[in-house]
A = this chain, B = another copy of it.
Amino acid sequence: MEDEVDRLVAAWRRERPDLDVEPLEVLSRVSRLARHLDRARRIAFSEHQLEPWEFDVLTSLRRAGDPYQLSPGQLLTQTLVTSGTMTNRIDRLAKKSLVERLPDPSDRRGVLVRLTAEGRDRADQALAGLLAQERAILSELSRTQRGELAGLLRQLTAPFDNIPG
C-alpha cells in the first residue's frame, strides 16, 4: 500500500532529479507518523480528561516507583521539553491536585514533584487506554516485524539519548 511519503518522494524525484532524497523515506515517515499518533493520543486521552502533556508528566512520575517523585530536571530529560515549559506544566498539574511540589531536602535550589493518589490513578487508567489504542495501530505488523522495527528505531534514537545532544 502506498502512503503520502511515497507520493512526496516521487514528486521530489520528478522536480529535483539531481538530489538523492532517500533519507526522506525513513525520516519523513517518522515525523508524519508521530503527528498522526499525537492526534490519536489526544482523542484517546480525552476519555480520561487528560491532555497528552499531562499524561507524559504523570506517567514519568508513575514509572519512578514509590514514592513517585522526581525533580523537574529529571522530568525534562524524559519529556524533551524546555525548563520553562516544565515549570508551567507542574504549575497546572499542581492546581489540579494531580501532583504536589516539595522542597528537595538535600539541595535548597531544588524541588521534588510528587504524584498524588489521584494523579497516580489517572495515570494508570490512561496508560491502559493508550496501550489498547497502540496495539490496534500495530496490528498491521507481525510480532517479528514489531521487534525488527523497534530494533532499527533504537539504533537511531540511541545517539540522541546517550550523547548529551
Contacts and interface: CB of A to CB of B under 8 A. Distances in A.
A156 B131 contact: no
Contacts of A62: 15
Nearest to A133: B23
A158 B3 contact: yes
A150 B21 contact: no
A36 B80 contact: yes
B26 A31 contact: no
Q: How many copies does the complex hold?
A: 2
Contacts of A16: 124, 127
A149 B150 contact: no
Q: Bin chain A's interface residue count.
A: 35 or more
Nearest to A38: B31
B152 A148 contact: yes
A23 B159 contact: no
Contacts of A15: 62-63, 65
Nearest to A165: B36
Interface of A: 1-6, 8, 11-12, 14-16, 19-27, 29-39, 62-65, 77-78, 80, 124, 127-128, 131, 134-135, 137-138, 140-141, 145-150, 152-162, 165
11 contacts: A3-B162, A15-B65, A16-B127, A19-B128, A23-B131, A23-B138, A25-B147, A29-B153, A36-B165, A141-B152, A149-B149
